[in-house]
Structure formats: structure tokens, C-alpha cells
Structure 1
């Protein structure tokens, strides 16, 4: 994802989640396992959010970019950031289809 489009997609996703009662704890947090786009909290559960954006399906959909390996790395990153493995954690994705002129969002809970 291009840097400008990536920032735009993350901002759209963040606003979407904030409007639904999520609380932002951090953005673009780097770990030895990769980067966490958004670290949030909702109803006492820590939520690690991956944002994927595709302007067109020419190179696959945003969901197709979330491989099982990527999901496992997100979980490892979450546990690293939280410093404990006994906290309630959920992995989610906000998938952005389109570009700033015309887009739709898809919000999913990821299975580990």
C-alpha cells in the first residue's frame, strides 16, 4: 500500500472504530514480529487491528492479503506489546475496498 494511501486507509479505519466505541491506545506500533496498525480497546478487551486496502482487485482483495502467517504474527505482536499472555486480546481487520473518492469498509474478527 502506498504511504499516502496507507495513512488514509488507517485514518478511515480508526475513525470507523472510534465511532463504534473503540478506544485508541496506539498506532503503527513496531515489534520484533511486525507492525501493529492500530491497538485499541473495546469493552475491556485489547483489540489489535490490521488495516488492508486495495484500490482494485487486480492484485487480490484486502482479505486475501491476510494470510494465516500474517495473522499469527499479529498475535505475537499483540502479546509482545501487552507484555502478558493472560490479557483478553482479539484480532480484527478493517478492509478498505477502493480509494478516497469511492470506498467501502469491511470489518472482520480474525481467527487465530
Structure 2
């Protein structure tokens, strides 16, 4: 499963209400790179993956306090547990370790 696009407040509320799974939100502008889509599939058993085009959704950008893109946000039971700005291989590894825990 690839990322599901978050387009409105109801989408955000439903995503953050997820229980017993991680919620991964990939905040970006423009297009989602293929490796990010592959990771969404890789962790589908433990994680619901969402994407957020902060260029289109300025209020969401402000709400989540996203200053740089791409930014990865990981939630568990409605609480933010990890945030990584400007993804790089080391940052991705730390997220992968969390999603596999």
C-alpha cells in the first residue's frame, strides 16, 4: 500500500485516531519520491502511511509546525513519537528501526 493523501481535517482526524499501529505522515511539496512510496509498502503491517502536500495545505503545515520539507512525522495512538526533517539515509534508518519495534 502506498501513502494515502491527507486532504482535509476529517482525513487528519481519522489518521491520528488510528490505534495499535504507527501512523507515518510524509510531508512534502511537489511529488513523493519512489523510495518513500516503497517504504510505505514495506511497513504496511505495522504502519498506516499518509502523505501531506504542505504546498496545498498551509493550515496543516502550520498545525504540525513543519518548517522544512520533506518532513516525516510518526504517531502512535494519537501522540507524535518521532519527527525527522529533511530526510537522509541516517534519518530514514532511525525511522525504520522505530517502525519495526
Greater relative contact order (Cα < 8 A, sep 6+): 2
Provide TM-score, normalisation by structure 2.
Answer: 0.34
Which structure has the larger Rg? 1
Q: Which has the higher strand share?
A: 1
Q: With structure 1 as the length reference, what TM-score do the two structures score?
A: 0.31
